[in-house]
């Protein structure tokens, strides 16, 4: 048994944890995804996970790579994604009323070509983003994440750049979970952000919510544009 498998089993033994998955790249822990019951606060679960990995395996990890998906106890209800906020070394997080919200998502498939359209809301203003390309149905989920970022960029300052690092769907505790990795480039520094969301009936929507989960944790510390009702774009002649 590998140490990561043993660590996953150890995390599953923590209070209020139902399942866990550790993603390793080049021998280093890149992401830790946890499914928990709707009981213990997510930030305390994160501290438990970080402490367990340090105490038992002598490995230090950044608490920001630990994502927690909280499950409601009712049957057939999708998960509530709770962004993790730990007081130390975290960027400011927007208040709930100011968070960028999901509006809608549409994914159109025409043979090997796909187009994704995503609508987001912030402070009462709606913005639409789109992305298209040649891809498989599975690869189309990356287009959904890219369309989400296109809409997000309408709210962010021009010196903030975002890119999709990867989109994956894994099974944890009998549930499908969408995981999105983003590259954030600002102030000449690149940071990897990750977010996750349990898949309900709509996988594209879960991809959008996972993308927002990754960014909403830090968007309060980024330069934003004050939203206006209309955007004027150049008209080609």
Sequence length of the chain is 237
Q: What is the pLDDT of residues 20-66, one digit of tens each?
A: 888 887 778 888 888 887 667 788 888 888 888 888 888 888 888 88
**DSSP labels for 63-129?**
GGGEEEEEEPSSTT-PPEE-----STT------GGGS-EEEEEEEEEETTEEEEEEEEEETTEEEEE
Contact 62, 49 (CB under 8 A): no
Per the model's pLDDT, the better-predicted residue between 152 and 227 turns out to be 152
Q: What is the pLDDT of residues 131-144, one digit of tens each?
A: 988 877 667 888 99
What percentage of the chain reaches a pLDDT higher than 70?
78
Which structural domains are found in the chain, ordered by start? 3-81 (3.30.300.30), 99-221 (3.30.160.270)
Compute the distance between CA of residue 52 and CA of residue 42 in angstroms, rounded to an integer. Answer: 15
Does residue 227 surpass a pLDDT of 50? Answer: yes
Structure tokens at 111: 């043979």
pLDDT grade, residue 69 (50/70/90)? confident
Does residue 118 surpass a pLDDT of 90? Answer: yes
**Average pLDDT taken over every residue of the chain:** 78
């Amino acid at each position: 048994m590998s140490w990561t498998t043993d660590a996953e089993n150890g995390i599953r033994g923590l209070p209020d944890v139902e399942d866990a998955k550790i993603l390793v790249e080049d021998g280093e822990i890149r992401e830790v995804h946890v499914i928990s019951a709707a009981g213990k606060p997510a930030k305390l679960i994160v501290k438990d996970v970080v402490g367990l990995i340090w105490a038992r395996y002598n490995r230090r990890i950044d608490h920001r790579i630990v994502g927690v998906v909280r499950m409601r106890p009712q049957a057939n209800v999708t998960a509530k994604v709770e962004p993790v906020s730990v007081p130390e070394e975290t960027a400011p997080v927007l208040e709930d009323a100011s968070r960028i919200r999901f509006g809608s998502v549409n994914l159109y498939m025409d043979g090997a070509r796909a187009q994704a359209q995503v609508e987001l809301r912030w402070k009462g203003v709606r913005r639409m983003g789109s992305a298209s390309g040649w891809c498989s149905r599975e690869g189309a989920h990356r287009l959904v994440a890219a369309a989400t970022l296109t809409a997000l960029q309408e709210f962010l300052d021009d010196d903030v750049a975002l890119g999709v690092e990867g989109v994956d769907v894994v099974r944890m505790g009998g549930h499908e979970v969408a995981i999105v990795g983003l590259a954030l480039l600002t102030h000449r520094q690149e940071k990897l952000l990750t977010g996750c969301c349990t898949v309900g009936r709509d996988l594209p929507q879960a991809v959008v919510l996972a993308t927002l989960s990754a960014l909403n944790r830090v968007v309060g510390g980024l330069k934003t544009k004050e939203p206006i009702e209309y955007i004027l774009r150049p008209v080609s002649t």
